[in-house]
Structure 1
Amino acid sequence: MSDTRSIDAPNEVRPFKDHGHMDVVTLGDFTLGRGVFEPGWRWSEDVKPIAGTDSCMVHHTGFCLSGQMTVRFDDGRELSVGPGDVMDIDPGHDAWTTSDEPCVLLDTGVRGYAKPA
């Protein structure tokens, strides 16, 4: 079945503990999130209490629209994500906003992201 829905009218909005939210649109088997990670956002502070895991166990794939974020994997590797970057981020990481503006990401790996365990 063909369908459309505006990300500006999401099926659900998942608030983080502080510093932002995830707008989620689901069409059939496809889920897309628009994450708004405000300055000061850090996964280990803003999502960990919701997820209940030691690190983010979601596989993220998507695109950065604005702002910047650093991702630190459990093995110590780091990468930066910024405007125009296409990302493929494996599970097992922490992340935080590093820009003075919100980091806004489109992410296809959010079916269970920022939902209570």
Structure 2
Amino acid sequence: MSIATQQQTEQKSFDKPEETRSFENGVVDLVTLGGAEIGRLVLQPGWRWSEHVKPIAGTDLCEAPHFQYHVSGTLGVLMADGTELVVKAGEVTSLPEGHDAWVIGDEPAVIVDFFGASNYATHAH
């Protein structure tokens, strides 16, 4: 069986997400494609995970690992081990669990998350 017969062609739009999760200063839209949940996060200036999502997650740090493409804006990330990143538009990040993040500057951060979005802004299990 060839790869072409194992997969089906799919097309979806974040303009019509299957699920939307809103939280203070941010929103994540989710679509399922190829059996994976993909999220688009739009984080407004002033957003910080530890202030706006931590109360929802109930954990000290974000425990969702991420594989992300940064469409626009700038995001600061502080890992549990003290590693700090400044991520700008056009960059790709792989973040393990255990981090805080915040928007830097006056432009919203728009991020496409290919791994980890399904657990974003949900209560810890």
State TM-score, norm by structure 1: 0.93
Which segments of 5 or more consecutive residues in structure 1 lack a partner in the other structure? none
Which of residues 51, 55, 58 is equivalent to 1:49? 55
Which of residues 6, 15, 18 is equivalent to 1:8? 15
1:1-117 paired onto structure 2 within 5 Å: 1-16=8-23, 18-108=24-114, 109-117=116-124
Structure showing greater radius of gyration is: 2
How far off its partner does 1:28 sit?
5.0
Read off the aligned partner of 1:114 and give its amino acid letter.
A
Q: Deviations over 1:16-75 (max 9, x none)?
A: 2x1110011113521110000100000001110111111000111010010001000112
How far off its partner does 1:116 sit?
2.5
Cα RMSD, aligned residues only? 1.1
Identity %: 48
Residue 4 of structure 2: aligned partner: none
Residue 5 of structure 2: aligned partner: none
Read off the aligned partner of 2:85 and give its amino acid letter.
L
State TM-score, norm by structure 2: 0.88
Q: How many residues align?
A: 116
Which segments of 5 or more consecutive residues in structure 2 lack a partner in the other structure? 1-7
Distance 2:63 2:26 in 1: 19
Structure showing the higher helix proportion among its residues:
2
